[in-house]
Structure 1
Amino acid sequence: MTDFVIAGPRHALPPQLSLLRRIYLPRTADAAAFAMSTYGIPLIVLATTQSATLTGLAFALEWVPRLAAFSLAGQVVDRHGTKRVFRIASVLRALVVVAAAFILPTQTGGTGATVTVMALAAITGVVTEFSYIAAETAGASASKDAGDRAHRVQSVLLGIDQTATLAGPALAGFLLHGIGVTGTLLTMAACSLLGALLAPWHRESRLVPPPAPALAGLRTGWKTLVSLPALAWLITGLTVSNLATGVLQAAAPVIVVQHLGQSSAAVGVIWSAAAAASLLAVALCRFAIDRLGLWPAGAASAAVAGLAGLAVSQAGTYTHFLVLTAVLMAGEGGMTVVLRTLRSRLIPEPVFGATLAVTILVMLLPFPVAGLLVALTPATELGHVLTACAGLQAAGLSAAFWRLRREPALRTPHPDAPPGAPESP
């Protein structure tokens, strides 16, 4: 074995702690900070500037640095371990957010405040990806240890993410409305520091890539991905779907506040309702995977997401917009359980971080594109853009799951499934 070196003491087995303490609690703290920043910062920009264009640009600015950080993040996690990378990234994010909390009150002009908030979005986006890749790698290792019950670990992790998405947007909206920007930012910092204090423990591989340029990690991850056709096709479908989801997320503050006449807190309520629906979908998807396998659960989730995406673009009232968005995100939640389970099964552990980074990079590329689409589209025409993207979403998901219908990796049901469950072809 010439491509890897044997690591030192950092790869010792973790202490005998429960999954709750080793994996789930650190993930909870990190997910809360992530959700509050992702959904809170565009609200702050809209409240500061009253501009749909700047809100769309802020959304794009949140995602572009994150995408640039993925390749390096995966390589750093593979080499230096999840605990160290997670802790450093969490502390850095807390320091940046606290600095912004003290700087923003001194900004008397709208331009200065907007520039500060957009810089905050870019910097926190970078460090958040390091902590996210570290947390995902730790969760994947726990899934591998769980064997055929990997999807159960992944459903808990996704449940944590969706719970944070449920609480984070609503909390950010209400904090912004009730105690202002400073209190919102200090709450984000507290979540980051809590994550740094807990930090994930897991069994790490003793095989670690030697030092190499950041692009080397990207090449390694890409080669691994294209060698796994089942995973590649699933990611292709979800990438197309994410364009519609990204446009919906970027346009929601403008649609809800300016078109439907609601408050910024109402935007948070939409994403909280969507997260609640996703939590229910995660539980149902886990049940379906146990009995039917990955493909039926994923195909059903894709059908729900595709139909809801087409319907939400036609919503004319706040209630309809909220309900249909929740249904759409429920479908997305079910597909994410399938993706994470397949990812943990197929990607080799020594290159998991690099390959994970590439998969996330590909899937998140539509988000800055979505922000630019919203920024360049007149506010009155956003409905037409949503409709076009929803059509692409339905077509992309249909093509991907049709191609995957005979993939053994997605057709094998859980070994404890009841008699009569379909078997792998």
Structure 2
Amino acid sequence: MVCEHGLPASGLSGSRSRSFVVMVRNAAFLTHTGRSPPENSFCQVLHPPMSRPLVGCLRFTEEKHVHLIPTKVRSTTPRHARTVAHGRVRGVYLPRLTDAVASSMATYGIPLLVLGATNSSSWTGISFMLAWAPRLCTFALAGTAVDRYGPARVFRLAAATRAALTGCAAAALAMTTGGTALGFVMFLAVCTGCLTQFSFIAAESVGVITSKGAGDAAHRVQSVLLGIDQAAALAGPATGGLLLQWHGPSGMLVVLGGLSLLSAAAAPRSQQAPLRAHKGGAPAASGWRTGWSTLRSLPSLAWLVAGLALSNLALGLLETATPVLVVKQLGRSSASVGLVWSCAAAASLCAVTLCRPVIDRWGLTTVGRWAALVTGVPCFLIPLADSYVAYLALIAVFMAGDSVLSVVLRTIRSLLIPAEVFGSTLSVTVLLLLLPYPLAGILLAVTDPADLPALITICAILQSLGLACALTYGTRSRSRRGKHRR
């Protein structure tokens, strides 16, 4: 037989006794002389000497000539696994950076805006809760959307919508005052929280697929992604605080909208196949069940998520209480609040950078345990801080240890979650890690400012117990992976 595309002698052409294999509609046919696959069948010729298989439509002539007509075949790869056709910097890191800066400014800037408008710690806690609560309501929908439509499309739509909303809110705040303005800010907190969930799941999907492709260097990819988040956290709070102090709420929201628009523009357009519907139109509830089933089958991941969730409760309480503690009890300005989180982000960035060679040398388990110790001790000392400098230093050390813990969790998560159920499992994981944040806002809203040190101490105890259990039971042998073992 002779192939129209001129395959070498070791391929399809050769003696009558030579055989070859083609893939027709995902079924293998071993074809000998005198027996051919169905004409006009979509097939894949498995040709060992070539670097990649030929895909096309076979036609046979009376002389047994094989005509391979190139044919476009839809990929069977899940949508969340189809990364964009760009390098890591352009396709992964740059969109992650622009979106993280916008999210950081919204997370830390909107509570400051509420505190300046109401002078109330209760309203500040409520605004923080409203920013995080929608993420809990949309986590399953976000994972399903990423699985179905692809991360690039979801990311662009979420960023563009956030840009439009912040622009409208900036114009509305310039023309209103009092309770109406506060209502606009609360509505913006809800909307930005919801949209941030979609963009975060989309960005994490691309990041974890990239980590899977990195193999043994997965922790390096995750440390770069976390470093990007910390670099954004370094610029976001400080910029938001300064803009709020110098240009007012409208100025901060205009910059936030511009960053969101830049995020939408930075996201590359992936070349995906036409929309492929889910099996039976699987609803978000199906994604919920799949995610929980996968998480239960991975005990190591479940323990680590539980421990980090308790750590996030302490972190969320510190985030919500910092404006009250710094402005009310330490007598500083809103710009000083932004400086606290900027210094903490700088310490986190240094810790993430240094943890790469340390993990290479000592492994994830050892580094995770030391990071838990570095995170727990400052949390007990923060209620005792009686000066701004001491408070800033303790927050910075706390955030440095917490960032290294995040690298450990993200690395194990990227290695454990099967690709075929990644979107659903990631959504459940994110739910458990985000649940403490609105809870922290509720705790701040119902707690008297004088009782905040005692509340922080209680959260520090819970954090220590959770991390001790997580790093004892969650780092055991991961050979048992339930039904999703690969």
Q: Normalising by structure 2, report the TM-score.
A: 0.80
Question: Which amino acid in 1 is paired with 2:467?
Answer: L
Deviation of the 1:7 alpha carbon:
5.4
Residue correspondence of structure 1 range 144-293 to structure 2 within 5 A: 144-200=212-268, 209-210=278-279, 211-293=281-363
Q: Which protein, 1 or 2, shows the higher relative CO under an 8 Å CA cutoff with sep ≥ 6? A: 1
Q: How far 1:407 moved relative to its partner? A: 2.8
Which residue identity does 1:85 align to in structure 2? V
Contact conserved, 1:23 with 1:200, CA < 8 A, in 2?
no
Counterpart amino acid of 2:435?
L
State the SS of the aligned residue for 2:177: coil
Residue type of the alignment partner of 2:112: L
Residues 213 and 14 (structure 1), Cα distance of their counterparts in 2 relative to 1, 3 Å cut:
closer
Whether the aligned pair in 1 keeps the contact of 2:240 and 2:252 (CA below 8 Å) is yes
State the Cα deviation string for residues 39-86 of structure 1 (Å, max 9, x = none): 000000000000011001111111101111111101110111011111
Q: CA deviation at 1:271?
A: 0.5
1:126 maps to what in 2?
194
**Larger Rg: 1 or 2?**
2
For 2:324, give the aligned amino acid: V
| Alignment pair present for 1:375 and 2:445 | yes
Deviations along 1:193-252, one digit per CA (max 9) or x if unpaired, are: 111112157798999843222121111111111111111000010011111111111111
Amino acid at match of 1:398: A
| Distance of aligned partners of 1:344 and 1:315 in 2 relative to their CA distance in 1, 3 Å threshold | same
Judged with a 3 Å threshold, the aligned counterparts in structure 2 of structure 1 residues 292 and 9 are, in CA distance, closer, same or farther, namely closer
Give the direction of change, closer, same or farther, for the CA distance of 1:329–1:11 in structure 2 (3 Å limit): closer
Which aligned pairs between 1:71-110 and structure 2 lie closer than 5 A?
Answer: 71-109=140-178
Partner AA of 1:337 in structure 2: V
Task: Confirm or deny: 8 A CA contact 2:320 2:441 kept in the other structure.
Answer: yes
- The question of whether the paired residues in 1 share the 8 Å contact of 2:301 and 2:474 is answered with no
Match of 2:425 in 1: 355
Hey, what's the Cα distance between the residues in 2 that align with 1:120 and 1:182? 13
CA shift at 1:408, angstroms? 4.5
Choose the corresponding residue for 1:313, options 374, 377, 383: 383
Q: In the superposition, relative to structure 1, how do residues 103 and 391 fare at CA in structure 2: closer, same or farther (>3 Å)?
A: same
C-alpha distance in 2 between matches for 1:314 and 1:143:
40
2:449 partner letter: A
Cα distance in structure 2, aligned partners of 1:370 and 1:14: 35
Quick one: which amino acid aligns to residue 375 of structure 1?
A
Range with bigger deviation, 83-92 or 399-408: 399-408
Q: State whether residues 135 and 200 of structure 1, in contact with CA within 8 Å, keep that contact through their aligned partners in structure 2.
A: no
Shift in Å, 1:108: 2.1
Identity rate of aligned residues, in percent? 51
Aligned to 1:418: none
- Give structure 2 stretches of 5+ with no counterpart: 1-73, 480-486
Shift of 1:353: 1.3
Q: Which has the higher helix share?
A: 1
The amino acid of 1:313's aligned partner reads P
Aligned residues: 405
Deviation at 1:394, TM superposition (A): 1.1
- Cα distance change on mapping 1:7 and 1:133 into 2, 3 Å: same
Query: Residue 402 of structure 1 is aligned with which of 453, 472, 480?
Result: 472
Residues 1:262 and 1:353: Cα distance change in structure 2 (over 3 Å): same
CA distance in 2, matches of 1:273, 1:112: 34
Partner of 1:422: none
Partner SS for 1:407: coil
**Counterpart secondary structure, 1:326:** helix
What's 1:417 paired with? Answer: none
Among candidates 42, 57, 73, match of residue 126 of structure 2? 57
- TM-score w.r.t. length of structure 1: 0.91
- Per residue, is there more strand in 1 or in 2? 2
Residue identity in the other structure for 2:409: L
Letter paired with 1:324: L
* Match for residue 103 of structure 2 among 34, 44, 57: 34
Distance of 1:291 and 1:391 partners within structure 2:
30
Aligned-partner residue type, residue 129 of structure 1: Q
Tell whether the 8 Å contact from 1:207 to 1:350 is kept in structure 2 after alignment: no
Conserved 8 A contact 2:80-2:206: no
Q: Secondary structure at the match of 2:429?
A: helix
Contiguous gaps of at least 5 residues in structure 1: 410-425
CA–CA distance in 2 between the matches of 1:267 and 1:69? 30
Q: Evaluate the alpha carbon distance shift between residue 361 and residue 9 of structure 1 in structure 2; reply closer, same or farther with a 3 A threshold.
A: closer
Give secondary structure in 2 for the equivalent of 1:316: coil
